[in-house]
Amino acid sequence: MQNPSSQALDAREKLLIDQAVAAFAGRPGALLGILETVQAAHAHKSLSIESLRYIAQETGIPPARVYSVATFYSLFNLEPQGDNVICVCRGTACHTRGSRDLLERLCLDLGLSRQGISDTHDADKVALTTPGHKFTVRTVACFGQCALAPVVEVNYHTLRHVNERTLQREVRALTRGGK
């Protein structure tokens, strides 16, 4: 009997998960590799609850553990991400060098709600996506590059000593001809 929770997955998604499970079977950190493979194949770089359930079913790992791993690591997303992902560091060094102002200006420029930022005093866990999924703005606790603060990552490319003008230039380039 088929698990009803996996019925929402199409045959292609199941095949991808089956292949990832086979490729990582018996290897240390197999679950991380499986989750990363499945997320990378998704158009909006996210993991659906259905895919997490199917991964649990196929690996024999309890669903709660699969979910806890997927939510513990910031590289995994349970919500669809934009075509372009901008991560603003909120660590102490970046904060003291203006990362909160960068974050607020970025959200304003992209037309994102300030609600997500103002709900938390330090904006630790912001993840906002523009309508149409062109951009996702996220925060991370620390990139570990404090000497280069403030640090912003744009599509996995690290920018250092970022100011508003630099960040606006990056966004304009992505809006015009980038992804």
Instruction: Please indicate, yes or no, whether residues 56 and 100 belong to a single structural domain of this protein.
Output: no
- Identify the pLDDT of residue 6: 42
Instruction: Please indicate, yes or no, whether residues 60 and 15 belong to a single structural domain of this protein.
Output: yes
Instruction: Please indicate, yes or no, whether residues 96 and 54 belong to a single structural domain of this protein.
Output: no
Q: What is the pLDDT of residues 130-176, one digit of tens each?
A: 988 999 999 988 899 999 999 999 998 999 999 999 999 999 999 98
CATH number at residue 126: 3.40.30.10
Question: Is 41 contained in some domain?
Answer: yes
How wide is the angle at C-alpha 131 spanned by C-alphas 35 and 143, nearest 5°?
50
Question: Is 78 contained in some domain?
Answer: no
Domain boundary among 72, 93, 114: 72
Instruction: Please indicate, yes or no, whether residues 68 and 104 belong to a single structural domain of this protein.
Output: no
Q: What is the pTM of this model?
A: 0.75
Domain boundary among 52, 72, 92: 72
5 burial (CB, 10 Å; 0-12 / 13-18 / 19+) is middle
Instruction: Please indicate, yes or no, whether residues 22 and 48 belong to a single structural domain of this protein.
Output: yes
Instruction: Please indicate, yes or no, whether residues 61 and 89 belong to a single structural domain of this protein.
Output: no
Residue ranges of alpha helices (H) inside 60-114 are 63-72, 92-96, 99-110
Instruction: Please indicate, yes or no, whether residues 65 and 95 belong to a single structural domain of this protein.
Output: no
Instruction: Please indicate, yes or no, whether residues 156 and 95 belong to a single structural domain of this protein.
Output: yes
Question: Is 145 contained in some domain?
Answer: yes
- Identify the pLDDT of residue 118: 54
Instruction: Please indicate, yes or no, whether residues 90 and 168 belong to a single structural domain of this protein.
Output: yes
The chain-wide mean pLDDT, for the chain, equals 88
**Contact indicator for 86, 135 with CB cutoff of 8 Å:** yes
Instruction: Please indicate, yes or no, whether residues 66 and 117 belong to a single structural domain of this protein.
Output: no
Tell me the pLDDT band of 58, cut-offs 50, 70 and 90. very high
- Identify the pLDDT of residue 8: 81
Q: What is the pLDDT of residues 87-127, one digit of tens each?
A: 999 999 999 999 999 999 999 999 987 655 555 454 457 88
Using CA atoms in the order 154, 160, 163, 167, what is the torsion angle rounded to 10 degrees?
-20
Count how many domains the chain has. 2
Instruction: Please indicate, yes or no, whether residues 169 and 114 belong to a single structural domain of this protein.
Output: yes
| Structural domain containing residue 129 | 84-176
Instruction: Please indicate, yes or no, whether residues 60 and 14 belong to a single structural domain of this protein.
Output: yes
Question: Is 116 contained in some domain?
Answer: yes
Q: With pLDDT > 70 as the criterion, what percentage of the chain qualifies?
A: 89
Q: With pLDDT > 90 as the criterion, what percentage of the chain qualifies?
A: 74
Domain boundary among 72, 106, 129: 72
Give the orientation angle of helix 164-176 with respect to helix 99-110, to 10 degrees.
Answer: 30
Question: Is 55 contained in some domain?
Answer: yes
